[in-house]
């Protein structure tokens, strides 16, 4: 597992260089080692504008290439399954459209639970991916 990190606010100050320049202060964020306080990432000295951007940058920089490759492999397998089962994907499209336009009840949603029911009713029970993973790839096609 990775290091424990902390996203810490830092005040950046700008001093005027001439009479036309304006002094200002801005809160930026840096990533520190939670135990030692060592700065691990400070966005090349500028700091991150938000905590969320700091966490996102750290997640990107410390991602696991093996997991990334596995994720891409799974997406490829799902796309292949979708290519082999075009009629099921057309049904997904139809149900999603009908639910979105309001033909169904107001509480009906086209989500992973709904896709899971569709898969089960169609006899696809032992797939190497979850209904949520299928829905995510289907939406991003």
Residues 73 and 113 in one domain: yes
Residues 79 and 135 in one domain: yes
Q: How far separated are the first and last CA of the chain, in Å rounded? A: 33
Both tokens of 110, joined, read 């086209």
Q: Tally the domains of the chain.
A: 2
Residues 29 and 46 in one domain: yes
Mean pLDDT, each 10-residue run in order, the chain (141 residues):
86 89 93 94 95 96 92 96 97 95 87 96 94 96 80
96, 100, 104, 107 alpha-carbon torsion, rounded to 10°: 110
Residues 52 and 78 in one domain: no
75 touches 138 (CB < 8 A): no
Residues 53 and 77 in one domain: no
Question: Furthest-apart CA pair in the chain: how many Å?
Answer: 75
Half-sphere exposure of 97 (CA within 13 A, CB side): 6
Instruction: Quote the pLDDT of residue 1.
Output: 53
Domain of residue 69, residue span? 65-139
Both tokens of 69, joined, read 């490759």
Residues 75 and 107 in one domain: yes
SS3 5: strand
Cα–Cα distance for residue pair 43/115, rounded to 1 Å: 41
């Amino acid at each position: 597992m990775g290091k424990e990190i902390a996203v810490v606010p830092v005040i950046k100050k700008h001093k005027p260089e001439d009479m036309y320049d304006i002094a200002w202060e801005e809160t930026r964020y840096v990533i520190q080692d939670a135990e030692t306080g060592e700065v691990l990432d400070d966005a090349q000295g500028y700091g991150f504008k938000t905590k969320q951007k700091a966490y996102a940058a750290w997640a990107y920089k410390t991602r696991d290439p093996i997991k990334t490759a596995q994720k891409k492999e799974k997406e490829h397998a799902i796309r292949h399954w979708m290519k082999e089962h075009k009629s099921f994907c057309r049904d997904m499209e139809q149900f999603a459209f009908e639910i979105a336009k309001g033909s169904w009840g107001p509480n009906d949603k086209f989500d992973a639970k709904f896709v899971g029911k569709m898969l089960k009713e169609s006899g696809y029970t032992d797939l190497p991916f979850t209904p949520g993973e299928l829905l995510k790839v289907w939406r991003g096609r």
